[in-house]
Structure 1
Amino acid sequence: MAVGLRLIQRVSATRAFARVAPHVVPALDRTVHRLTRGRVLPSARMLPGLVLTARGARTGQPRVTPLACVPEADGTWLLIGSNFGRPGHPAWTANLLAHPDAEVSWRGESLPVRARLLAGEERAEAWRTALAFWPPYAAYQARVEREIRLFRLTRTGRH
């Protein structure tokens, strides 16, 4: 593993990062993604990322959220609701629970998807995959009492 990646993982597991990153990373990602018409997502330079557009749980209005993801070999994606190890679930997880049909921008392409909250052994297996992919998720889980929500996104045929 490159020294730079280990350093990034160490920094991203800190409480200071958890305080600053939620305000800076998504705003930067949203702006650059919009300005480049979906071609560039800065945080994806460290981890694969997508931009999720889901309806708000309460309002039903579109909510655009840049997220790190774990692409799976079968064309699905894992989304980890770590919220950078902060106490509450991120809002996008409540949006997907209320409205599982969504859209992702993945490598410049808009794709309809359906989200499914993982539980039991399926969640445990996905969690192991997520930890192998990005070890700082373990530090995030250790800091919070809630169980971090994991979703699997599957492409759908709807538009």
Structure 2
Amino acid sequence: MSSAIDLHGAAHVERYLETNGEDGYHWRNGTTILILFTTGRKSGEQRSHALIYREFEGAYLVVASKGGTPEPPAWFVNLTADPNVEVQIKGDRFRATARVATPAEKPARWAAMTEVWPDYDEYTKKTDREIPVVILERV
């Protein structure tokens, strides 16, 4: 069985959930992963995504980069339609509210995220889209 460090997408989510993050929480380059559950804005179905995150001032940060593509990730579009999400960090699953960091909040939060995943800065060079930092606040 390969390590979750080699997994992406649905396979990563599945392994993480099966093991309560025992396999999948720690990922590449020392990053840590949470699972974000959103509601599909068209389907109404629950969607799950493995995302690099960082704790910051009592909340959790994720970046809606999609590798610097012109369009945002589907999970971001879904949570802008419905900011009521669920988050799982290891075995702890909880409800949260998602919001985009304000222009005043973003610089410190962006710096915290690029500290753990420097490629985010490279992604900004690939797109004209503003790459948002999303703040997940436990309900």
Does TM, scored on the shorter chain, surpass 0.5?
Answer: yes
Matched to 1:58, the amino acid is: K
> Is 1:140 paired with 2:123?
yes
Q: Which residues of structure 1 form unaligned runs of 5+?
A: 1-20
Moved over 6 A (4+): none
Partner of 1:67: 51
Secondary structure of the equivalent of 2:26? Answer: helix
| RMSD over aligned Cα atoms | 1.8
Q: TM-score, normalised by structure 1?
A: 0.75
Partner of 1:49: 33
1:85 CA displacement: 2.0
Between 40-49 and 97-106, report the one with greater CA deviation: 40-49
Q: Which residues of structure 2 form unaligned runs of 5+?
A: 1-5
Matched to 2:112, the amino acid is: T
Q: Percent identity?
A: 27
Alignment of 1:1-159 (within 5 A): 25-36=8-19, 38-42=20-24, 44-46=26-28, 47-72=31-56, 74-156=57-139
Secondary structure of the equivalent of 1:120? Answer: coil
Secondary structure of the equivalent of 1:33? Answer: helix
Secondary structure of the equivalent of 2:79? Answer: helix
